[in-house]
């Protein structure tokens, strides 16, 4: 999977994503505009394994999208409803190892913050060959470069 910030996982099975579901996704996203954010720090949380991630600031737009999807699709709560709080993140490792964290902080830390703009939400699905893009949904005011873009200072 490419670098991303999850809005909702897990979503409906691919076979259940029909024209009505696509229209509902478009309806949810209609109230969200393109926005800027920065990946600011290397953080971790337990899920039950430890996940090292880059934290976006502000996190509020991602949380608002997640909440909007959870309300529209109550049959697919974020992460199956296992966690009390959704933490927007770009995962960089999924194991606790002091050496790995130190390496990531040393390699990535000097490049933070990473300035970024998001203008699309991608619906991806997992198949026999791994993850693939099923469809992109542009956010309002996305302009010609709607896809998540990032640049380092």
Q: What digits encode the pLDDT tens for the residues 119-143?
A: 899 999 888 899 899 999 999 887 6
Its domain, for residue 40, covers 14-151
Number of domains in the chain: 1
Q: How many CA atoms lie within 13 A of 144 on its CB side?
A: 0
The per-residue pLDDT for 111 is 92
Average pLDDT over residues 87-108: 83
**Domain for residue 3, yes or no?**
no
Distance from C-alpha of 5 to C-alpha of 26, rounded to nearest angstrom: 18
**Domain for residue 92, yes or no?**
yes
Distance from C-alpha of 103 to C-alpha of 106, rounded to nearest angstrom: 5
**Domain for residue 5, yes or no?**
no
Does the structure show a pLDDT above 70 at 152? no
**Domain for residue 19, yes or no?**
yes
Does the structure show a pLDDT above 70 at 91? yes
Confidence of residue 96 (pLDDT cuts 50, 70, 90): low
Domain of 71, CATH number, reads 3.90.1140.10
Q: What digits encode the pLDDT tens for the residues 59-85?
A: 999 999 999 999 999 998 888 888 888
Does an H or E element contain 133, and which?
strand 130-138
The per-residue pLDDT for 70 is 92
Least confident of 23-27, 102-106, 109-113: 102-106
Confidence of residue 58 (pLDDT cuts 50, 70, 90): very high
Maximum pairwise Cα distance, the chain: 47
Read off the tokens for 48.
Answer: 């039950």
Mean pLDDT, the chain, integer: 86
């Amino acid at each position: 999977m490419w670098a991303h910030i999850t809005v909702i996982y897990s979503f409906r099975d691919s076979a259940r994503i029909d024209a009505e579901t696509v229209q509902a996704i478009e309806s949810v996203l209609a109230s969200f505009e393109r926005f800027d954010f920065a990946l600011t720090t290397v953080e971790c949380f337990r899920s039950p394994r430890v996940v090292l991630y880059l934290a976006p600031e502000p996190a509020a737009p991602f949380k608002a999208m997640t909440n909007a999807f959870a309300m529209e699709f109550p049959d697919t709560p974020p992460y199956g409803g296992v966690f009390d709080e959704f933490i927007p993140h770009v995962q960089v490792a999924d194991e606790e190892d002091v050496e790995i964290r130190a390496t990531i902080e040393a390699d990535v830390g000097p490049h933070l913050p990473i300035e970024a703009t998001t203008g699309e939400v991608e619906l991806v699905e997992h198949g026999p060959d791994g993850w693939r893009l099923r469809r992109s949904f542009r956010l309002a005011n996305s302009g010609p470069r709607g896809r998540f873009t990032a640049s380092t200072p």
